[in-house]
C-alpha cells in the first residue's frame, strides 16, 4: 500500500508527547510549523527536561534545556509547553505517566496526539530507553483520556471530563502509512527549532549542523509522497 497524504481537515488542536527536549526537532517540528501556520493550535508535553543528556551536571542542564526547548517551540509557533519532572534516562512505564498524558489530553482537548516510535528499533537505529517508554505512555494515556472509568480522580478532583482523541500520529512508526507535506518555510522553521538546542548540540561534537541534514532528510521523505518535502509517519485511528 502506498503512502497516503495526511489530511488536516477538522483538526483544531494537536498534542505532541515525547520524553525529552529536542525529540520533536528531528523532523516532526516541520509538521508542527505546517499546522500552526494553518491556525491549528499545537502543544508539547515532555516527560523530562533532558537533564541527563549532557556532560554538565543535571542541576545545570535541566533549566538550560528547558530554555532551549522554549526557544525551539517559538520557532514553530508553539506556545503551550509543559515539561514534567520525571527523571531523564530512567523513565519507567507507569500509571503516573499515563495519568499525566490523560490529564493534558483532557485539559488541552486535542484531535490528534503525536508521539515518537516506541519500537525497539527505530528507522535511525536502536531506540532509546526513555523513547520506548514515552511512546507507549502517549498511546495509552491518549486512550485513557477518553475512558470515564480510568483515572476517575481526574474527574472527581480536577474536574477534567473525558476527551476522545481521533488520531494518533507516530513519527518513526512502522509501517509508514501517511506523509505530512511541508513547505520550504516549514523546513526552515524546523531547522531553526533544532538549532535552538544550541548548548545541547555543542555538547555533541559529531552532530551535523541542522541545516546540513534536516532539509535533505525531509526531501527524501517528500520523494516518497510525491512532494518536495514531507514527514512520513504511521497514523492510527483511535
Q: Closer to Zn ion by CB, 53 or 222: give it.
A: 53
Query: Rounded to the nearest whole angstrom, what is the least distance from the CB of residue 18 to Zn ion in the complex?
Result: 7
Nearest distance in Å: CB 114, Zn ion: 15
Query: To the nearest whole angstrom, how small is the minimum distance from the Cβ of residue 44 to Zn ion?
Result: 13
Shortest Å, Cβ 134 to Zn ion: 8
State yes or no: cis peptide before 175, omega within 30 of 0: yes
C-alpha dihedral (98, 101, 91, 209), degrees to nearest 10: 150
Give the count of beta carbons closer than 10 Å to the beta carbon of residue 124.
11
Q: Which is nearer to Zn ion, 40 or 133 (CB)?
A: 133
According to DSSP, the β-strands at 121-122 and 41-46 are unpaired
Tell me which residues touch Zn ion (CB under 5 A): 20, 23
Nearer to Zn ion, 11 or 28 (CB): 28
- The CB-nearest residue to Zn ion is 20
Question: What is the closest distance, in whole angstroms, from the C-beta atom of residue 108 to Zn ion in the complex?
Answer: 22
Q: What is residue 86's three-state secondary structure?
A: coil
Residue (23 or 186) nearer to Zn ion, CB = 23
Nearer to Zn ion, 20 or 106 (CB): 20
Nearest CA-CA partner of 178 in 112, 132, 110, 80 = 112
> Which CA distances in Å does 14 have to 11, 136, 190?
7, 17, 17
Q: Residue 66, SS3?
A: helix
Residue 19 cell numbers, joined: 520524553
Phi and psi angles of residue 86, each rounded to the nearest 5 degrees, phi first: -70, 155
Amino acid at each position: 500500500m502506498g503512502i497516503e497524504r495526511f489530511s488536516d481537515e477538522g483538526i483544531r488542536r494537536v498534542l505532541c508527547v515525547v520524553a525529552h527536549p529536542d525529540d520533536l526537532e528531528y523532523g516532526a517540528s516541520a509538521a508542527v510549523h505546517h499546522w500552526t501556520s494553518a491556525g491549528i493550535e499545537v502543544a508539547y508535553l515532555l516527560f523530562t527536561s533532558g537533564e541527563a543528556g549532557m556532560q554538565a551536571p543535571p542541576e545545570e542542564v535541566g533549566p538550560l534545556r528547558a530554555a532551549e526547548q522554549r526557544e525551539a517551540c517559538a520557532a514553530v509557533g508553539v506556545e503551550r509547553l509543559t515539561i514534567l519532572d520525571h527523571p531523564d534516562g530512567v523513565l519507567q512505564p507507569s500509571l503516573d505517566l499515563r495519568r499525566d498524558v490523560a490529564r493534558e489530553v483532557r485539559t488541552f482537548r486535542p484531535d490528534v496526539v503525536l508521539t515518537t516510535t516506541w519500537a525497539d528499533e527505530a528507522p535511525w537505529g536502536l531506540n532509546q530507553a526513555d523513547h520506548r517508554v514515552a511512546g507507549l505512555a502517549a498511546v495509552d494515556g491518549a486512550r485513557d483520556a477518553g475512558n470515564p472509568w480510568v483515572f476517575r480522580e481526574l474527574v472527581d478532583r480536577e474536574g477534567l471530563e473525558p476527551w476522545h482523541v481521533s488520531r494518533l500520529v507516530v513519527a518513526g512508526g512502522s509501517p509508514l502509512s501517511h506523509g505530512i507535506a511541508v513547505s520550504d518555510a516549514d523546513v526552515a522553521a524546523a531547522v531553526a527549532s533544532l538549532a535552538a538546542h544550541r548548548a545541547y548540540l555543542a555538547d555533541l561534537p559529531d552532530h551535523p549542523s541542522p541545516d546540513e541534514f534536516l532539509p535533505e532528510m525531509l526531501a527524501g521523505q517528500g520523494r516518497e509522497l510525491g512532494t518536495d518535502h514531507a514527514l512520513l509517519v504511521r497514523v492510527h485511528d483511535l
